[in-house]
Structure formats: C-alpha cells, structure tokens
Structure 1
Amino acid sequence: MTTNPTAHTIRLGANRTGLELRMFTREKEAVFFTFLLPIVLLALFSVVFGDSFAAGGDEAGVSAARYFLPAMVASGVILTSFQSTALSVAMERDDGLLKRLRSTPMPPSSFFLGKVGLVVVTSATQTLVLLAVARLAFGVPLPQDAEHWLTFAWVLLLGVAGGTVLGIAFSSVASARSAGAVVIGPVLLLQFISGVYFPYSQIPTWLQQVAAVFPLKWVAQGMRSVFLPDDFASLESAGAWEHGRTAVVLLLWFIGGLVVCLRTFRWFKRGTT
C-alpha cells in the first residue's frame, strides 16, 4: 500500500506539534514571558487604572481592562509567534538539534508545520484566556456582531502568520547567546511605541511613524477596532481604523518574511556543515 506523501508529512507535522508543545511547557521562563505575561499585564493595568480610563481627546472614557485588552491581544500575538519562534529556532540551531533533525527521514516541512502548530495552539489559547479574564473578571463587553469577530479573525490570522515566518527568518541573525538581546530588545521597544503599554495617540508623531513601519502597530490597531467604541477611531493617526491598509501591511510582512525564510534559513550553526 502506497503512503500519500502529503498525508505523511501532515501526520508527522502533527506529531511534531505535540512534541513542540511538551517542550514549550517545560520551559517555565518561556511560558511566563511569552504566554502568561500579557494576561498578567492586563490584570495589573485593570487593577491600577480602575474603571475610568480616558485615552485623551473628547471621547468618553472606558475601563482600563477594555482599553488595554486589544493591546494585550496584539502583544500576545508577537510574543507567541515572532519572539517565541525566533528564540527557539536560534537555540535549537546552536544546540545542534536542527542539524540532527535534518539528517533524519522527517521531511523539513513537517518540522515547520510543528512550529506553526505550536504557535497556533499557544496563540489561540492565550487569546481565549485573555478574553475570558477581561469578560469574567473585569466585565469587559465583547463584540456582539459577526462583523467585528470577522475583523478579529483576519487580524489575528495575519498577525500570527506574519509573526511566525518573521520569527523563523529572524532566527538566522541570532545565536543562543545573543538571542535574548537581538530578539527581545526590538520586541520590547516596539511594544512601547506601538500602543501596547501607552495610548497610541499620546506617542510622539515621529515615533508613530516609526511604529507604522512594523506589523505590531497594525495588529494593535486592528484589535482596537474590534474591542473599542467606534469613537476611538478618531484617536488613530489617520482618524480611522484603516482596515484595508492594515490587511495590506500585514500581508506584505507575511510575504516578505516568507521570502526571507526560503532564502536564508540555516539548519546548521555558522561555521559548521
């Protein structure tokens, strides 16, 4: 009986996903800084700022939990996709794991399916927990119509897809020793200027322009359009939610990251063969 190569690759990818999840849960630091941190920060901001949080301008204030929920969802996307993937692949390359995997009969695509599966499961779980905490613990109203949830779905999908391929691509410029500074540093900086920790409208204009080059700003803006009142669109740099531009920017980052992955991915540490 002939085995279908595609089905075999997918089955191995599913098995690899299970292994990736088990390895991820054993790394307590990774679990906290990529999975639990946005949840902890949402709870912290909600308690510190309370029920009345004004983002500026004439718009009516909303609770801190409601205001920071889209920011924490966006932060979770970049942490579970870009940061987690870049760190893990860089470390696995330096440890020689990728070299050993490359010499096994497992198709390379199954390895990447495992990474994608890990990101999908952790991102979906983290987002569900964030929504549950916001709704049950702090009474944040969630969208009641299909249009908002559709926007939520495509922003999340494009954010996770782009973050994952960019993480794999970025891993080629990092090593196990330098990964913390090379990966975490830029991610932390982008969170500060992309409207995650501060209201985006209160960030200097030139920093807004810098943030607009990168995908995190657009994921955060897309999520704000889902969970915040429509009046808050006036606080964006263009005075609107810009769904079309958001989709184009995130799609371009995904395509660009995919091209870079295909051209630069290395199974071996520099200086080895």
Structure 2
Amino acid sequence: MNPTTTALRAGGQRGLIELRQSLTNGADLWDHAFWPVLMLVVTFFLRDVSFEGTGFSVGALALPGILGMNAAMAMVTMSQLLTADREDGTLLRAKATPNGMSGYLVGKLVSVAGGLVVDLSIFLVPGAFLVSGLVTGSVEAWLTVAWVLALGLLAALPLGAVLGSVFSSARAQGLLILPILAVIAISGVFYPVTALPVWVQWVAQVFPVYWLGLGMRSALLPDAAAAVEIGQSWRHLETVGVLTAWAVVGLVLAPAVLRRMARRESGSSVAERRERSLRRVG
C-alpha cells in the first residue's frame, strides 16, 4: 500500500479516537456543551425581538449566523490544539514518523470537524424548538447546511493550522482572540450586517465568518428573509466563491507552513518551552 495512503488512513483513525475520547471525558464534554448552551440562552432572549418591522425576530436571524460563527471558530480550536501539541512534543514525534505530519494534520481535521458537528447539534436541535420561523422541514435546507458547513470547514481549519504554526506557545494564542471577536462583531452574526455602515459591510465580506452566516441563513430561513441581506439576495455563488478562495489559500499554505515549522522542531526546543512553562507555573 502507498505510504502516503497508509499515513492518511492512520490519521483518520487517530482523529476518530481523539473524537471518541473527547466525548467520554468530563472536562471535554463541558467544553462541548458550554458555548452552545450559552448561545441558546442568548437566542432565547432574542426570540421575540422583531427586526425593524420585518416580521422576523432577531433570534431567528441570529440562530443560523451563530451556526456559521461556530464553524469559523473551529479555526481557533485548530490553532490552539496545534500549538499545544507543539509545546508538549507531539508534533516532534509525528515528525519522526514517515509521512507523520500528513497523518497528524488529517487526524486533527477529523477530530476538530467531528467535535464541531457535535457542538452545532447541541445548539441547533433545541434552538429549532425555541425559535419560530425557521425552515427545518425541507431536505433542501439540510443539504444547504451540509455544503455550507463542509466548505466553511475547508476554509477555516487549514487557516487554523497555519495560525497554530505561527504561535509558539499556548499563552500567545490570546493574541488571536481579539481580532477574531472583532471580525465576528462586524459579520452580522447577532444582527443583520445591513444595519452597519457600508464600509464595515465591505470589510465583513472579506472574511469567511460573514459568508458562513449568510449560507446558514439561506438554508434555515424562508426566502423572504433575504430582504434584510445585502442586495436582498442569499448570493450562493458569491458564498461558494469566497469560501473556496479561503479554502484554496489555507490548503496551499498549511502543508508548507507545517513542514517549515516541523523542520525547526527539536528535542531541545521542546524542552526549552516546557521549562519556560514550568517557570511561569512556579
């Protein structure tokens, strides 16, 4: 069997094992449940707030946007996990295995994507009962959710791997959170982006968070809800184009950046980072 195929298959199996472990560990289960439950509480309080007399509640408009936001946040999760594995020597061990970096990356993609699907299910299933006006009884709606989510993960996860290669410590990951929150704030997640200044709308459309939210709204809201969107349209072609562009950038950059980072890894660098971490704890 081709060594690369063997490594990729091993990576897939590793990802499934990591996913199963995260779903049977108390601390990880809390991590999976906390954010979806918090967003459910926010959606609950927005369910009866009407948006500018359109007949749609802010909660109905926000719920699909939150789904898209969570998919984009998988980028942060990927970055944090990669940085943590770099600190504890996991990446160094992967580097020592033939095609180990490819297998490692595939494993992380599988585990993070699987965990995200669990998180979205925890939010979406009860949310569909809390919020009225959603289109959840259509096969077409769920097919749209599936392709938007798949394309969004292709756009977000490789970028997360790139960011994880840039930050040398978990502590430095804090630098990533504020820019991500800023992008979320202008992406129309909790409120239609058309309520923001025009120049902010243009900035929001550069990033995948906005397009993930728009794609999810197109799947779960009736066509009449497009009236509050830019151009009064769901713009599926533009959604595919922007998310595909980000996916191509990430898939081109991620392997090269990971290989470069792996070449710089050594036992001494891992030991040095571990020593610095212990000094901070002490």
Give TM class, smaller chain. 0.7 to 0.9
Q: Where does residue 70 of structure 2 map in the other structure? A: 76
Match of 1:259 among 248, 252, 256: 252
Query: Unpaired segments of 5 or more residues in structure 2?
Result: 271-282
Percent of pairs with identical residues: 29
Tell me the SS of whatever aligns to 2:230: coil
Deviations 1:134-172 (A, max 9, x none): 134556644333332222111111111111111011112
Q: Where does residue 17 of structure 1 map in the other structure? A: 15
Query: Unpaired segments of 5 or more residues in structure 1?
Result: none
Tell me the SS of whatever aligns to 1:175: coil
Match of 1:46 among 43, 47, 55: 43
**Alignment of structure 1 residues 26-45 onto 2, 5 Å:** 28=27, 32=31, 35-45=32-42
Deviations 1:99-132 (A, max 9, x none): 1221135632211110111122112212222221
What CA distance in whole angstroms lies between the structure 1 residues aligned with 2:3 and 2:265?
29
Match of 2:56 among 51, 61, 81: 61
What CA distance in whole angstroms lies between the structure 2 residues aligned with 1:78 and 1:31?
20
Aligned-residue Cα RMSD (Å) equals 2.7
Deviations 1:161-220 (A, max 9, x none): 111111011112212244332322222111111112333222222221111110010000
- Residues 23 and 170 (structure 1 numbering): CA distance in 2 closer, same or farther, change over 3 Å? farther
TM-score under structure 2 normalisation? 0.82
Deviations 1:225-269 (A, max 9, x none): 111222221211222110000000000000011111132221245
Aligned residues: 265
Is residue 2:190 matched to residue 1:194?
A: no
Is residue 2:146 matched to residue 1:153?
A: yes
What CA distance in whole angstroms lies between the structure 2 residues aligned with 1:91 and 1:175?
9
TM-score under structure 1 normalisation? 0.85
Question: Do the aligned partners of 1:90 and 1:176 also contact (CA within 8 Å) in 2?
Answer: yes
Question: Which AA in structure 2 matches 1:115?
Answer: K
Kindly state the Cα deviation for residue 63 of structure 1 after the two structures are TM-superposed: 6.4
Question: Do the aligned partners of 1:211 and 1:217 also contact (CA within 8 Å) in 2?
Answer: yes
- Residues 133 and 179 (structure 1 numbering): CA distance in 2 closer, same or farther, change over 3 Å? farther
What CA distance in whole angstroms lies between the structure 2 residues aligned with 1:243 and 1:261?
26
Q: Where does residue 162 of structure 2 map in the other structure? A: 169
Of residues 211-220 and 223-232 in structure 1, the stretch that sits farther from structure 2 once superposed is 223-232
Q: Where does residue 101 of structure 2 map in the other structure? A: 108
Question: Do the aligned partners of 1:39 and 1:72 also contact (CA within 8 Å) in 2?
Answer: no
Deviations 1:67-117 (A, max 9, x none): 2210221121022x2010011112221332211221135632211110111
Tell me the SS of whatever aligns to 1:194: coil
Question: Which AA in structure 2 matches 1:73?
Answer: L
Q: Where does residue 236 of structure 1 map in the other structure? A: 229
- Residues 235 and 37 (structure 1 numbering): CA distance in 2 closer, same or farther, change over 3 Å? farther
Question: Which AA in structure 2 matches 1:74?
Answer: G
Tell me the SS of whatever aligns to 2:232: coil
Question: Which AA in structure 1 matches 2:115?
Answer: T
